[in-house]
């Protein structure tokens, strides 16, 4: 058999290839790995920052008041502490008062912390007919229209509603309140009557109702009251001073007192289970929205 002889140069090349593949190269430079820069530990969020994330109605300027009220009422949930301080309940009624916002608006809040002045008269006041109201009673026109729709619906189902009081001027309310104070004393009067400038009736959006058979103070005992609980919000009205909420509204339960806020807002308030004060303090107050 004839031998095949390879050139020496080719043998050298083959030798070098085998050497390179089989023998690891010493001191081969390692691939550089990027080292991430050192990160500083996150600063824990403050109590106020945590509350702001959980409750959009948290007002930074009230932080000290929130903490103080929480210490006084450890039984309250955080959201209630914030809500009640926003209302003003960490301070006595008729203290730290301020002019109300939303004049001539369905969102207006008038209570023991928000007032209207002596000269305020709502726009578009119109007289209510004596067919369903006492003589000389007026209401803001939009509320009147809604009330008439509500009454027509009630009548169609066999219920009779009648208005005993609606718009009251500042002077009228002053005389009424003074009479109650003389009759029952100031402390008692404050539980069922507003001081002048702090009455919802001055907004022209509130009505007191009866069923023409019983005195308005007995309205809770009537079938009309039950009908109102089921239907008032459909026409833009809310029960303004509910039972069990006296410490929030500042007034005793008034089954007969309804406030027009508009259909959309009335249904939201009813669904929330909140009083107007609570709902306002969370979702409507300009201080919260700013």
Query: Residue 42 — pLDDT band, cuts 50, 70, 90?
Result: confident
- Rounded CA-CA distance 180/194 in Å is 10
On the question of pLDDT at 53 being above 80, the answer is yes
Tell me which of 72 and 16 has the higher pLDDT: 72
- Rounded CA-CA distance 56/59 in Å is 8
Q: How many CB atoms lie within 10 A of CB 151?
A: 20
Residue 124 gets the label, from left (phi > 0), alpha (psi -120 to 50) or beta, of left
Query: Residue 25 — pLDDT band, cuts 50, 70, 90?
Result: very low
| pLDDT at residue 22, rounded to an integer | 47
On the question of pLDDT at 236 being above 90, the answer is yes
Q: Does residue 15 belong to any structural domain of this protein?
A: no
Domain count of the fold of the chain? 1
- Listed range (37-41, 200-204, 246-250) with the worst mean pLDDT: 37-41
Q: Does residue 162 belong to any structural domain of this protein?
A: yes
- Verify whether residue 254 is a known catalytic residue: yes
| Average pLDDT of the chain to the nearest whole number | 91
| Number of residues in the chain | 290
Q: Per-residue b/e over 191-210, b at no fewer than 16 CB within 10 Å? A: eebbbbbbbbbbbbbbbbbb
Q: Which domain does 125 fall in, by range? A: 105-271
Q: Does residue 95 belong to any structural domain of this protein?
A: no
Q: Which of 200, 224, 254, 277 is catalytic?
A: 254
Query: Residue 19 — pLDDT band, cuts 50, 70, 90?
Result: very low
Q: Does residue 20 belong to any structural domain of this protein?
A: no
Query: Residue 35 — pLDDT band, cuts 50, 70, 90?
Result: low
| pLDDT at residue 45, rounded to an integer | 86
| pLDDT at residue 11, rounded to an integer | 46
269: Cβ–Cβ under 8 A, 6 or more apart, which residues? 233, 238, 261, 276, 279
Contact 263, 38 (CB under 8 A): no
Contact 208, 164 (CB under 8 A): yes
CATH number at residue 136: 3.30.1380.10
On the question of pLDDT at 26 being above 90, the answer is no
| pLDDT at residue 12, rounded to an integer | 46
From residue 56, give the alpha-carbon distance in Å to each of 4, 23, 53, 90, 91: 91, 69, 7, 20, 22
- The pTM of the full predicted model, rounded to 2 decimals, is 0.84
Tell me which of 18 and 242 has the higher pLDDT: 242
Q: Report residue 125 as tokens.
A: 């006041």
Share of the chain above pLDDT 70, in %: 86
- Listed range (17-26, 40-49, 160-169, 236-245) with the worst mean pLDDT: 17-26
Q: Does residue 179 belong to any structural domain of this protein?
A: yes
| pLDDT at residue 32, rounded to an integer | 55
On the question of pLDDT at 39 being above 80, the answer is no
Q: Does residue 136 belong to any structural domain of this protein?
A: yes
Share of the chain above pLDDT 90, in %: 83
pLDDT 10s digits, 216-230: 999 999 999 999 999
Q: Does residue 232 belong to any structural domain of this protein?
A: yes
Contact 122, 203 (CB under 8 A): yes
Contact 124, 171 (CB under 8 A): no
On the question of pLDDT at 250 being above 80, the answer is yes
On the question of pLDDT at 248 being above 50, the answer is yes
Q: How many CB atoms lie within 10 A of CB 281?
A: 25
pLDDT 10s digits, 92-146: 999 999 999 999 999 999 999 999 999 999 999 999 999 999 999 999 999 999 9
Segment 246-260 shows an average pLDDT of 98
Dihedral (CA of 239, 83, 268, 200) sign = positive
Q: Does residue 148 belong to any structural domain of this protein?
A: yes
Kind of pairing between the strands at 237-241 and 254-260: antiparallel
Q: Which of 240, 252, 204 is nearest to 103 (CA)?
A: 204
């Amino acid at each position: 058999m004839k031998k095949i002889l390879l050139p020496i140069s080719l043998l050298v090349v083959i030798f070098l290839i085998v050497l390179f593949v089989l023998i690891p190269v010493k001191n081969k430079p390692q691939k550089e790995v990027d080292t991430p820069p050192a990160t500083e530990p996150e600063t824990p969020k403050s109590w106020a920052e945590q509350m702001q994330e959980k409750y959009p109605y948290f007002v930074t300027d009230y932080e000290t008041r929130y903490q103080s009220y929480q210490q006084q009422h450890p039984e309250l949930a955080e959201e209630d502490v914030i809500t009640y301080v926003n209302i003003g309940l960490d301070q006595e009624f008729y203290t730290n008062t301020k002019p109300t916002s939303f004049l001539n608006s369905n969102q207006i809040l008038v209570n023991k912390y928000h007032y209207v002045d002596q000269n305020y008269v709502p726009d578009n006041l119109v007289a209510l007919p004596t067919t369903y109201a006492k003589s000389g009673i007026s209401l803001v026109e939009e509320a009147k229209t809604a009330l008439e729709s509500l009454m027509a619906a009630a009548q169609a189902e066999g219920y009779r509603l009648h208005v005993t009081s609606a718009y009251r001027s500042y002077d009228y309310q002053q005389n009424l309140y003074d009479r109650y104070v003389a009759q029952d004393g100031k402390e008692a009067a404050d539980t069922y009557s507003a001081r002048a400038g702090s009455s919802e009736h001055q907004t022209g959006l509130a009505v007191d109702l009866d069923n023409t058979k019983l005195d308005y103070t007995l309205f809770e005992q009537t079938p009309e009251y039950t009908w109102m609980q089921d239907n008032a919000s459909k026409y833009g009205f809310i029960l303004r001073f509910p039972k069990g909420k006296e410490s929030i509204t500042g007034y005793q339960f008034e089954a007969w007192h309804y406030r027009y806020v508009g259909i959309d807002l009335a249904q939201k308030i009813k669904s929330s289970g909140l009083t107007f004060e609570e709902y306002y303090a969370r979702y409507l107050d300009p201080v919260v929205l700013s």
